[in-house]
Amino acid sequence: MAIIFDRGEFMLRCGPAGESPHVQYIFSENDDESPVEKEVQLIQDMRGDENQVQVVATVPLQYGIPDLSVLCQYYFEVAGAGSVCLAHVPFLTALSFGATSAIVCDFGHSSSRITPVHDGWTFHSCSLESLQLSGANQNRLLEDIGVSGCLNLHKVKTKTAYVPRRHSISSSSSKMVLPDENLISVTDDTNMNGNLGEFFFSPNRFLSQCNALSATQLLNCGLCMIPKEVPFSNACRNVLLCGGITSTTGFVDRLQEETGQNKELYFHRHSNRHLLPWIGGTILSQLSSVSNISVSRAEYIEHGPDVILKRCF
C-alpha cells in the first residue's frame, strides 16, 4: 500500500495511490494541530495494521513542517511507515505528463517557480523563483475587501477569479476584455475578481515599493537559465503548467498571448493542474524504480534520518 501526500503551503491532499485524494485539508494559522501531526495521524489511520506502507510526499514543505531528516524520523518512528520517498514538484509534474525534457511552471500560493527538468533530474540551481508573485501577496487584495481566513481565501480565488484577456486603466475606471472576449468597464470597488487574476500579469500595480516580475517575464527569464544539459528545443516544446493559480479562468490564454512572439513554446495544460504532484506521486509509487529513490526502514535504522537527504529528487 502506498499513501501519497501532496502539499501546498496551506493545502494538504492525502490518500491511497491510484485513487482520488481522500483528504483535502486547508490549514489555518489558528489550528491547534501542526501539519506534521496531521500527516502522522493520517498515515496511522490509513495503514491500519499494515507494516509495509509506503509514503510518497512532495517537497518543498508546508509552513510549520520540520526539515527533511526530522520529517523522515516522524514518518518511521511515530507513523510506522515501511518506506519513505520525498520528491520535488517539478519532477512529479514532468512524470505525470510523461515528459523527458521540460520546463515546469509552478504558480502556487507560496511562490512562483520556473524549473528545467531532464531525464528525471530537477535542475534546482537553474530554477527561477519569485516570492512576490505569489498567492500570499494576492491575499492582500481579498483582505482589503474583508475576505480573510485560509478557507474563505481559497474559495474566492478558485471559484470566482479570472484573468482578463487585456486590461487598461483610466483615471475613473478600468476596462477589461473578459476570457470570452466581452468588454466591460468596472470601477475599482467592483473589480476584485479580475484583479485577482490580473495580479500575476501586472503585479506592480498591486504591490507597493516592489519591482516584481510578471508571470510572462518570469517565464522569459527562466528560458535564459536552461542549462546546456537540457535540450533547449525539447524543453520549449514541453512547457508544463502546474499549481492551483494556473487553473484560474483565462490564465493560460493570457500567458500564450503575451509570449506569442516565441514560436518555440508549446504550453501543455492538464485538466487537473492543481493535482499534478498527486498524479505524479501515484505514478512514481507504482514504478519498480521507486525503490532506488526511497528510504526503507532497514536503511533508516542503519544510517539514521539524514539518509533521506541523499534520496530526495
- CATH number for the region 2-88+276-310 comes to 3.30.420.40
pLDDT, tens digit, for every residue of 109-156?
778 999 999 998 899 889 999 888 887 788 877 777 677 777 777 777
Structure-block grid coordinates of residue 313: 529528487
pLDDT at 47 over 80: yes
pLDDT, tens digit, for every residue of 77-92?
999 999 999 999 999 9
Q: Are 138 and 156 in contact (CB under 8 A)?
A: no
pLDDT band at 181 (very low <50, low <70, confident <90, very high): low
pLDDT at 72 over 70: yes
Longest Cα–Cα distance of the chain, Å, equals 68
pLDDT, tens digit, for every residue of 190-242?
467 778 888 899 898 888 767 889 999 999 999 999 999 999 999 999 999 99
Q: Are 76 and 88 in contact (CB under 8 A)?
A: no
CA R_g for the chain: 20
Chain Cα centroid distance, residue 107: 6
What's this model's pTM, rounded to 2 decimal places?
0.84
pLDDT band at 174 (very low <50, low <70, confident <90, very high): low
Domain boundaries, the chain: 2-88+276-310
Query: Which of 62-98 are b and which e, b meaning 16 or more Cβ less than 10 Å from the residue's Cβ?
Result: bebbeebeebbbbbbeebbbbbbbbbbbbbbbbbbbe
Helices of type H across the chain:
35-47, 68-73, 89-97, 135-144, 150-159, 192-198, 215-223, 232-236, 251-258, 276-285, 290-293, 297-303
Q: How far apart are CA 205 and CA 151, in angstroms?
A: 26
Residues forming beta bridges with residue 2, ordered by sequence position: 54
